[in-house]
Chains A and B, each alone.
Chain A
Amino acid sequence: MHQTSRLTVFTGHFGSGKTEIALNYSIRLARRGETVTIVDLDIVNPFFRSSEAKDVLNREGVRVLAPTFAGTTVDVPSLPSEIYAVFQDKRSRVVFDVGGDEKGAAVLGRYHPYFNSEPYDMFYVINTKRPLSGHAEQVINTLKAVELNSRLKVTHLINNTNLMHETTIEHILEGQDVVEHVSGELNIPVAYISGIPAVLALLPHKYREKGFPIELYMHPPWDMN
């Protein structure tokens, strides 16, 4: 894993896979022995969110901070004041799992003074198999809108191109072309190529070190794993 700042933010297009990656990232930090807090900042979508994986996260020693009503199915975008504490208490690494698109990113704006006074890394997650994300131009438009609304700058890109269980290495490499194009246009490095381990094992040699295998923590109710 890259050396990153204490504050690490995950943003991206709606449904790009931010939550799964933020969960994996947090758990990896924790397994490395770091003190980690994950902040579920998704106030756009009340479903399939990181705080639903609270049990796994707690087991792994990751502390979870979520919107006041997350998991209660009350659809109210209210954030707890405890979130301010993560900026003050410098002992813990903080992973922010932000809602999708520029609308989801707007929530970061209120914490701008804190991000302004401490270094941060902001990952932008891209799945080119998602609608309105297939072309570099579409990705760039959303990314710029996310930067504008969050008042932060994207520092790294993550290629998370996938069709879930149907993903092949070809899909990932097609996505990599688009992500590299975005990277060239915006001068933002590609940090990781993420995917399930079986598919990532097929990454060509030149991409090996960027491989970020992920375990899936969010499951539908008919999934018996």
Chain B
Amino acid sequence: MSKVLMKGNEAIAEAAIRAGCRYFFGYPITPQNEIPAYMAKRMPETGGCFIQAESEVSAINMVYGAAGAGARVMTSSSSPGISLKQEGISYMAAAELPCVIVNMVRGGPGLGGIQPAQSDYFQATKGGGHGDYHLVVLAPSTIQEAADLVIEGFDIADQYRNPVMILGDGILGQMMEPVEFRFSNRRELPPKTWATTGHTGERPRNIINSLIIDPQALEDHVNRIYQKYGHIMKNEVKVECCNCDNADIIVAAYGTTSRIVKSVIYLARQEGIDVGLIRPITLWPFPANEFSRWADRQHVKAFLTVEMSTGQMVEDVRLGVNGKKPVFFYGRTGGMVPEPSAILEEIKKVMRSVMK
């Protein structure tokens, strides 16, 4: 198939449709409005269903319903809207319902601004809603990767019966790049025997529920979903390492920020500093082993985490590095985007402090 030129938001919507998503429920919020706008145009052409719900709370519960019936379903929003969906997301994780949720993050807290941010990392990876659960969190850095991860995300959601979140930001949603829709790694997926599609008297009723009153039964249920998370942690980690082999310092960054860091690698080389990049593609499960492995290497003097937040992923980087090397942080917040020259200055500062 030949390439088309798409905005990140459009590519995410089209990728979902190509992956078999026929239900989309959402509510408008900048900077992800192109997703519902695109779905509103395209869904009727595919025989699917687009509904602009009366609120985010309503939209996520429509997702619960469609997922419960075994359909491929997606919703999208941006930070404050994702906060509103958290109750439903926790219910879906508890009821083991697959779906894809897109968060095009904007500056927070509160209603915040509309410019790009990465300050929803904690919310995405550490729960977000109540109770013991995890989302699989995928963080693309290009529009092609966003399309690929949406397609794979639906498979991951179905394979593990768990919601998957695509974590982007305003830049990724708004910018345009050439993209093609690829289906290279389709998975063998189990049939959805659990879906509430009507028992027609031929099988026991399927019940989808997240209310488990008996404490022992609830603990058993939580333990069972945590066994599942163990498999996910073992099998689904994705990470990109760039220029780490001889690096003096390794920068950790994901999404949009990682693209800026890639530019900094070249700037730093001109100044005689060898900079590596570890880019987590799955934010949960986090590639902790990758950090541990590089922290053991003698040539790596320090780590620097760069985020569009006040420092969230840096906590996971510290857990991965586990005290073997110092971990520094540089971030911008509120919708400000770190500039290559500012990141380079931080790298030089870190190098000076560890070379003392």
Contacts and interface: CB of A to CB of B under 8 A. Distances in A.
Interface stretch (A22-30, A197-205, A216-224): A216-224
Contacts of B196: none
B127 interface: no
Nearest to B266: A224
A127 B6 CA distance: 11
B120 interface: no
B36 interface: no
Given A73-B113, A222-B259, A129 B174 contact: no
Contacts of A85: none
A187 interface: no
13 contacts: A45-B174, A46-B31, A48-B174, A73-B335, A75-B30, A129-B5, A131-B6, A131-B14, A132-B41, A163-B178, A166-B3, A221-B260, A224-B267
B195 to A, nearest CB: 31
B305 interface: no
A221 B177 contact: no
A131 B170 CA distance: 20
Measured as residues with beta carbon below 8 angstroms from the partner, the interface class of chain A is: 20 to 34
A221 B14 contact: no
Contacts of A130: 4-6
A220 B175 contact: yes
Given A48-B175, A163-B178, A222 B4 contact: no
Contacts of B260: 221-222
Given A131-B14, A132-B41, A162-B5, A15 B176 contact: yes
Interface in B1-40: 3-7, 10, 14, 30-31, 34, 38
B119 interface: no
Interface string B249-284: 000000010011011001100000000000000000
Contacts of A164: 5, 176-178
B7 A15 contact: yes
B321 to A, nearest CB: 25
A132 B13 CA distance: 13
A45 B33 CA distance: 9
A222 B277 CA distance: 15
A131 B4 contact: yes
Interface of A: 14-15, 45-48, 73, 75, 127, 129-132, 134, 162-164, 166, 220-224
A9 B295 CA distance: 57
Given A73-B114, A222-B263, 16 more contacts: A47-B31, A73-B335, A129-B3, A131-B10, A131-B14, A131-B38, A134-B4, A162-B5, A163-B3, A164-B176, A166-B178, A221-B337, A221-B340, A222-B340, A224-B263, A224-B340
Given A75-B30, A164-B178, A220 B5 contact: no
B171 interface: yes
Contacts of A132: 41
Contacts of B339: 221
Contacts of B335: 73
Contacts of B113: 73
Contacts of A48: 174-175
B294 to A, nearest CB: 23
B20 to A, nearest CB: 18
B86 interface: no
B126 to A, nearest CB: 27
B115 interface: yes
Contacts of B340: 221-222, 224
A45 B5 CA distance: 18
Nearest to B11: A131
A25 B350 CA distance: 46
Interface string B175-191: 11110000000000000
B76 to A, nearest CB: 16
Interface string B336-347: 011110000000
Q: Which of A132, A220, A221, A222 has the most CB of B within 10 A?
A: A222
